[in-house]
C-alpha cells in the first residue's frame, strides 16, 4: 500500500553519455540536477542513472544521487526502475523504487522506508517526478 507523498522533483538533464554494457549491449548514462521537496524540506538534488534497452523494448535503469538542503541536510539515494522511451528525443517514462541513507536528524525517517515513484523526462531533457512511501 502506498503512504504519503514524500518527495517531488523538477530537474533538467545535464549530460548524457553512451557506454558499453554487458553482453555487447549499449547503455546510456544520464546525469540530472534539479530542485524539489523531500519530507516537506526544500532540496537540491543531483544524480546519475544508467539505462539499457531490453529485448522487450523496455528500459531498465539503476541510479544514485544526493539530495542537499539549504541548511546542510544531506541524503544519499540508490534506485532501480523500469520504463519505456516515448519516441521523442530524450523522452522516457519510468516507475522506480529508491532507498535513502542519511545522518541528518531532520531526514532520519528516510532511513526506514522504501519509496516508489514516477519519473517523466520530455524530449528536451526536462524531468519531473514524485515518490511515495511504500508501507
Give bridge partners of residue 59 from the DSSP assignment.
Answer: 53, 83
pLDDT-above-70 percentage for the chain: 100
Indicate the average pLDDT of the chain: 95
- Residue 94 neighbours by CB distance under 10 Å: 24
- Residue range 2-134 in CATH 2.40.160.20: yes
Range with the lowest mean pLDDT among 29-33, 38-42, 54-58, 103-107? 54-58
Average pLDDT over residues 21-26: 83
Q: Please write the tens of the pLDDT for every residue from 32-42.
A: 999 999 999 99
Cell numbers for 106: 531532520
User: CA triplet 85, 9, 100: central angle to 5 degrees?
Assistant: 95
pTM (predicted TM-score): 0.91
Q: Please write the tens of the pLDDT for every residue from 89-98.
A: 879 999 999 9
- Is residue 43 predicted with pLDDT exceeding 90? yes
What's residue 77's pLDDT?
98
Closest CA to 50 of 42, 66, 62: 62
- Is residue 126 predicted with pLDDT exceeding 90? yes
- Is residue 46 predicted with pLDDT exceeding 80? yes
What's residue 26's pLDDT?
86
Closest CA to 115 of 104, 95, 102, 99: 99
Amino acid at each position: 500500500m502506498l503512504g504519503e507523498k514524500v518527495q517531488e522533483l523538477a530537474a533538467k538533464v545535464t549530460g548524457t553519455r553512451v557506454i558499453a554494457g554487458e553482453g555487447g549491449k549499449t547503455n546510456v548514462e544520464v546525469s540530472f540536477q534539479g530542485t524539489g521537496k523531500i519530507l516537506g524540506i526544500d532540496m537540491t538534488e543531483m544524480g546519475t542513472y544508467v539505462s539499457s534497452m531490453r529485448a522487450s523494448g523496455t528500459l531498465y535503469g539503476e541510479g544514485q544521487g544526493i539530495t542537499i538542503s539549504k541548511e546542510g541536510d544531506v541524503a544519499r539515494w540508490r534506485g532501480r526502475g523500469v520504463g519505456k522511451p516515448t519516441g521523442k528525443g530524450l523522452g522516457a517514462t519510468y516507475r522506480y523504487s529508491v532507498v535513502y541513507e542519511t545522518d541528518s536528524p531532520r531526514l532520519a525517517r528516510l532511513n526506514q522506508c522504501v519509496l516508489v515513484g514516477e519519473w517523466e523526462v520530455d524530449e528536451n531533457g526536462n524531468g519531473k517526478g514524485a515518490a511515495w512511501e511504500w508501507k
